Chains A and B, each alone.
Chain A
Amino acid sequence: MMQQITLQHILLLSTALFFIGVFGLLTRRNMIAILMSIELMLNSVNINFVAFNKYLYPEKLDGVFFFLFVITVAAAEAAVAIAIIIHLYRYNKQIDVSETEEMRY
């Protein structure tokens, strides 16, 4: 008999997903790829919000609202980041973070 899925299983899954995102953030050098890693991390946070809401406080809905607000802020962040990346590409002809060093120091 397999054991019942509890909150802990879901939290472990979201932890793994968060650190996959951290790995991408640390090793990628392309700006769009870094943005994708950040999206993965935000998604793991969303899983946490929804799972806490569902398993600990099912009579309330606050986790679902925070999920909605996080998604909205993530969409705004992605739009601004992509606008900056496109502008940078026009200026520099590449979007590699290690070769974009005009404002360094």
Chain B
Amino acid sequence: METIVFYGIALFIFITGILAVTARHIFRAAIWLLFALMGIAALYFWMDLNFVAAVQIIIYVGGIVVLIIFSIFLTQQSGQKMAQSSLLQYIFSIAAVVFGTAFIGSIIARFYFVESHVVMNTAVENIGAQLMSVQQYGYALPFELVSILLLAAMIGSIVIAMKQKTKIKNS
């Protein structure tokens, strides 16, 4: 049963991912991306990592995809098809992708992983305690660093996207 569910989720992610990078309308591509991210969240649920799956849904599906859809509204004439690359570019891209997938896939298939059979303790309490811990193996310093990074990115994106007082010269 678990096996069938895994293959179902994998197929879903695969199909929606391919549609997200090949759809001709950018708005449809964004919606397919949303479904692919939901499928990845389902994969985390399948792995019994409920907190990780919840974070995936909240930040990716609720945050980043909504941001992308808003920026599509701001920068596109909706309903218009996107410009396509040349056929030669498509052929070389497909060749590169097939080669890369086969290469990495063959390495993974040959490698022998020693799996551990301890049951993982994924209680949120555990994750939070280690994330904020200042002891050895605690993650308090990276946590603070990443919060500063987020603040800098927020201020930076506001400054970049701000309307300038001086008239922009139009080319």
Contact = CB atoms under 8 A, between A and B. Distances in A.
Interface of A: 2-13, 15-17, 19-24, 26-30, 32-33, 35-37, 39-40, 43, 46-47, 50-51, 53-59, 61, 64-65, 67-69, 71-80, 82-87, 89-92, 95-96, 98, 102
Nearest to A90: B168
B-side interface mostly: helix
A20 B17 contact: yes
B130 interface: yes
B100 A36 contact: no
A12 B3 CA distance: 15
Among A11, A13, A29, A37: residue with most chain B CB under 10 A: A13
Given A22-B100, A23-B21, A15 B108 contact: yes
Given A50-B49, A95-B75, 19 more contacts: A5-B6, A8-B111, A16-B101, A17-B17, A19-B97, A19-B100, A27-B89, A27-B93, A29-B83, A32-B68, A33-B21, A39-B64, A59-B120, A65-B131, A71-B56, A71-B60, A82-B68, A90-B163, A92-B171
Given A51-B47, A69-B146, A71-B55, A80 B13 contact: no
Contacts, number: 226
B157 interface: yes
A86 B21 contact: no
Contacts of A28: 21, 82, 85
A35 B13 CA distance: 18
A40 to B, nearest CB: 6
A44 to B, nearest CB: 8
A89 B101 contact: no
A56 B123 CA distance: 18
A58 B120 contact: yes
Given A2-B4, A27-B21, A89-B75, A36 B29 contact: yes
A34 to B, nearest CB: 10
Contact of B82 (A29, A46, A61): A29
B20 to A, nearest CB: 6
Contacts of B44: 50
Contact of B37 (A43, A76, A89): A43
Contacts of B48: 54
Contact of A32 (B26, B43, B55, B92): B26
A61 B93 contact: no
B20 A24 contact: yes
A5 B3 contact: yes
Given A12-B108, A58-B119, A32 B72 contact: yes
B134 interface: no
